[in-house]
């Protein structure tokens, strides 16, 4: 267990811009933005402590779907280094979160996922920027388990 009582940098929350997300990931894409928004939602409404939270990303386990994991990582604070995020191969794209004995299931909206198949990198960036401006309930659905 970690003792963070005297830490200045424990559990810091930052709003990342699409530019920040692209710098982290290497480019800007819709799955990255969707994952980030899911992670931010979970942090704000489910568990704000990245040491108590665990994320499981269920996806095809290959790009572009697996890029959702990078977004969840930066949005939720669940990281590979803390070993509290994992990617599980699945034909059903969704994210599962656990904290304090509770579970949350988050599913990207079908129209967002279907529309992500764009023809150029510039189109992909524009679509990702559009997603970033949407309300959460237009991007994903949330289910308490």
Q: What is the pLDDT of residues 75-109, one digit of tens each?
A: 999 999 999 999 999 999 999 999 999 999 999 99
Q: Is residue 12 part of a domain?
A: no
Kindly report the length of the chain.
145
Q: Which domain holds residue 59?
A: 18-144
71 Cβ neighbours under 8 A, 6+ residues apart:
21, 25, 31, 32, 33, 34, 35, 36, 37, 38, 39
Q: What is the pLDDT of residues 52-69, one digit of tens each?
A: 999 999 999 999 999 999
Domain assignment present for residue 47? The answer is yes
Is residue 4 domain-resident?
no
Residue at 80 is within a domain: yes
Q: Which residues contact 30 (CB under 8 A, 6 or more apart)?
A: 64, 112, 115, 116, 124, 127, 128, 131
Q: CATH number of the domain that 59 lies in? A: 3.30.1330.130
Q: What distance in Å separates the CA atoms of residue 103 and residue 53, rounded to the nearest whole number?
A: 10
Place of tokens 């279907």: 114
Q: How many domains does the chain have?
A: 1
Domain contains 11: no
At 116, the pLDDT band (50, 70, 90 cuts) reads low
pLDDT for the residue numbered 118: 65
- Burial track 124-137 (b if 16+ CB lie within 10 A, e otherwise): bbebbeebbeeeee
pLDDT of residue 115: 61
Global pTM? 0.92
Answer whether residue 3 is part of any domain.
Answer: no
Quick one: pLDDT at residue 35? 98
Domain assignment of residue 2, yes or no: no
**The predicted structure's pLDDT at residue 117:** 61
Considering only residues 86 and 13, tell me which one the structure prediction assigns the higher pLDDT. 86
Among 143, 141, 42, smallest CA distance to 100 is for 42
8 A C-beta contact, residue 94 and residue 65? no
Range with the poorest average pLDDT among 65-74, 110-119, 122-131? 110-119
Say whether pLDDT at 1 is over 60: no
């Amino acid at each position: 267990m970690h003792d963070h009582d005297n830490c200045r940098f424990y559990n810091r929350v930052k709003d990342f811009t699409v530019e920040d997300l692209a710098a982290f990931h290497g480019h800007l894409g819709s799955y990255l933005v969707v994952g980030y928004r899911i992670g931010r939602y979970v942090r704000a409404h489910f568990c704000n402590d990245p040491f108590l939270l665990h994320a499981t990303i269920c996806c095809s386990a290959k790009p572009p779907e697996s890029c959702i994991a990078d977004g969840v990582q930066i949005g939720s604070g669940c990281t590979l280094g803390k070993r509290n995020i994992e990617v599980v191969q699945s034909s059903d794209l969704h994210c599962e979160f656990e904290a304090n004995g509770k579970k949350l299931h988050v599913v990207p909206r079908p129209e967002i996922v279907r529309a992500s198949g764009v023809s150029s990198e510039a189109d992909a960036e524009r679509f990702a920027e559009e997603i970033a401006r949407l309300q959460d309930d237009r991007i994903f659905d949330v289910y308490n388990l």
